[in-house]
A and B are shown apart, each in its own frame.
Chain A
Amino acid sequence: MNGATRRARRERWLEGSLLLAALASACAVLLILAFLVYFSLPLFRPGAIAGILSGRWQPVGGEFGILPMLAGSLLIASLALAIAFPLALGVCAFVQGLGPPALARPVLAAVHFMTSIPTIVYSFVSVILLVPALRSAFAGRGGFSILTASLVLSVLILPTIVLLVHASWSGLGPSVRMTCAALGLSRTQEIFRVLVPVSSRSLVVAAILALGRALGDTMVSLLLAGNSPQWPSSILDSARTLTAHIAMVLAVDSQSPAYLSIFSSGLILLLVTASLTLAVRWIQSAAGRRRR
């Protein structure tokens, strides 16, 4: 009896510490949010928020608007997604049977390997190889530019899309294949007229997750996009992302108004990536409900 109660108490105690670990992992995001909000608080004085959200960054003139950086982030990330998504679908189709079956495994292995290549290694090699190549291709422009950063980011996010879409298509499995074969569809028709529409939700989820990765990346845009804090007018222009902005302002250690802008940049990044996660959750739960 005594042993049994002691054992029960021990079980409860162990369960409690596991719960604590789970709570810590789940609530860490709230702590981070609280810190960023706390440090952005001076923003909620009259005048300050308009200053941050103005469209100009000219520290000398006392203007600390971060909207150009938000535009830079969105532009670079969406261009990267626009390049990576069709390529990723092509690779998935290749693996699913448009290419020779013997090559499917090596190609998938290569894509898996790509996930292990550090971002900084991609950026380093691109500084040496891609920047001079693009500069000579566009007659001196476009070296450190939106285009360069987007090209490298597209390679970075491609594995995310390929692996998610491939998993979704493989999950649809032999039943779809049999049906399509029975209907006399070619492999191309099966993939692009059946698999793509049927798995549209997974495609959207893969695109959202890849976009989040591209928005959150720092090193590629810091090293390759040129970092000039201006409104981009062409993809051959230099631009600064929110992530690179945080790194740059902290590197030069400037004073309070510039500091303020990095906390709001961090807050914006956090809110954007969190809403992307929320969107993924929503899509997946809607899919779950429909299946039931």
Chain B
Amino acid sequence: MRRRLADRALLAGSWVSTGIILAAVLVLVGYLASRGGGALGLRLLFGDADPLAAITGRQPVFGGIWPALAGTCALVLVASCLAIPVGVASGVYLSEYASHRLQIILGFGVDLLASIPSIVMGLFGFTLIIFLRRTILPGANTSLILAAGCLAVLVLPGISRATYNSLAGLPDSLRLTGAGIGLTRWQSVTRVLIPAGSRGILSGCILGIGRAAEDTAVILLTGVVATSGLPRGLTEKFEALPFRIYVLASEHRDRAELDEGFGCALVLLLLTAALFACAFWLQRSFERKWSR
């Protein structure tokens, strides 16, 4: 009898906790969609400026999120150019070249890097600038390239892990086939293994891009500002969507700014959700293809 009661309680607990979590997500997304959905539109992006003139940068944008959106895109682009080649190469080495011992040691280093909080990564960028100023580059300052570099280090371990997992999950028959038809190791990696694992690798890269787009703590310490206009160069300050949301969350003055915050948050959520959906779908189709 008592056991029956405990069973019931656990069953109820399981339903209740699932209900709580689903409700939390639904409230979050529903509220964001209802408040932010109304704000979506050209006005949210460009404020009072003429859209065409704003896109080309001939007219500055006030009260619109276009500069922040452009800043985030620039950040993500530069960060991916830095992180993806190194991350994929390191994953390939760990999976296809490294001895078992090296796999464990280097793999642990990558895991450690993955565990570093993003604010510490930002702090690293900040100390790097102080260091450069004291030594070889007195004019160095926090900027787009610094922020993108730190974001790249932040997402690097994820890309490396995803590449490793995708390649290590491939059947050994593929490796034997490569060797059997007389391919060198490099040829076998680039012509057989990477193409076979491409969907998994791509999925990891897209997740990394999403992480770089949403992170706030890193850019907070490495050169983001509230108003800079469109990103003008690698060594300039920049705006970014997550920082815009942070500013509006901590100091919105009126209803209009709050609405802008909701619109901005919705845009960022749509961006990361779309990236995530791509990554999820790629990973699924990769696993389905090689599950046998």
Contact = CB atoms under 8 A, between A and B. Distances in A.
Interface residues of B, number: 85
A216 B249 contact: no
B242 interface: yes
Interface in A1-28: 7, 10-11, 14-15, 17-19, 21-28
B93 interface: yes
A129 B126 CA distance: 34
Interface stretch (A56-64, A113-121, A169-177, A228-236): A113-121
B177 to A, nearest CB: 19
Contacts of B214: 118-121
A99 B184 contact: no
A114 B273 CA distance: 9
A219 B277 CA distance: 24
Interface stretch (A44-52, A134-142, A198-206, A242-250): A242-250
A263 B97 CA distance: 37
A35 to B, nearest CB: 5
A107 interface: yes
A90 B184 contact: no
Contacts of A273: 115-117, 120
B110 A129 contact: no
Interface residues of A, number: 83
A contacts with B: majority SS: helix
Given A25-B110, A91-B17, A116-B275, A247 B119 contact: yes
Nearest to A103: B18
Contact of A120 (B11, B32, B117, B246): B246
Contacts of B246: 120, 123-124, 219, 223
Contact of B15 (A27, A28, A99): A99
- Residue from B110, B128, B217, B272 having most chain A Cβ neighbours under 10 A: B217
Contacts of B185: 11, 15
B25 interface: yes
B245 A121 contact: yes
Contacts of A110: 21-22, 25
A189 B138 CA distance: 67
Contact of B117 (A25, A158, A216): A216
Contact of A35 (B24, B32, B124, B269): B124
Interface in B111-142: 111-124, 126-128, 130-131
Contacts of A39: 127, 130
Contact of A90 (B16, B107, B110): B16
A65 B201 CA distance: 45
Contacts of B130: 39
B221 A246 contact: yes
A88 to B, nearest CB: 8
A269 B120 contact: yes
Nearest to B160: A25
A29 B116 contact: yes
B52 interface: no
B10 A93 contact: yes
A28 B155 CA distance: 12
A157 B139 CA distance: 41
Interface string B89-108: 11011100110000001111
Given A22-B106, A25-B86, A28-B156, A113 B25 contact: yes
A26 B113 contact: yes
A26 B126 CA distance: 21
Interface string A245-262: 011001100000000001
B273 A90 contact: no
Contacts of B217: 218-219, 243, 247
A32 B121 contact: yes
Contact of B14 (A14, A94, A124): A94
B1 interface: no
Interface in B257-292: 258, 261-262, 265, 268-269, 272-273, 275-277, 280
A121 B268 contact: yes
Contact of B18 (A94, A188, A223, A270): A94
A167 interface: no
Given A98-B14, A191-B10, 16 more contacts: A10-B186, A21-B86, A25-B109, A90-B14, A94-B17, A99-B18, A113-B25, A116-B277, A117-B28, A121-B32, A216-B120, A219-B216, A269-B117, A273-B117, A277-B112, A277-B115
21 contacts: A11-B185, A18-B93, A18-B97, A25-B157, A26-B106, A29-B109, A87-B21, A111-B21, A116-B210, A117-B28, A120-B216, A121-B214, A123-B249, A127-B250, A128-B258, A189-B7, A212-B115, A218-B216, A266-B123, A273-B116, A273-B117
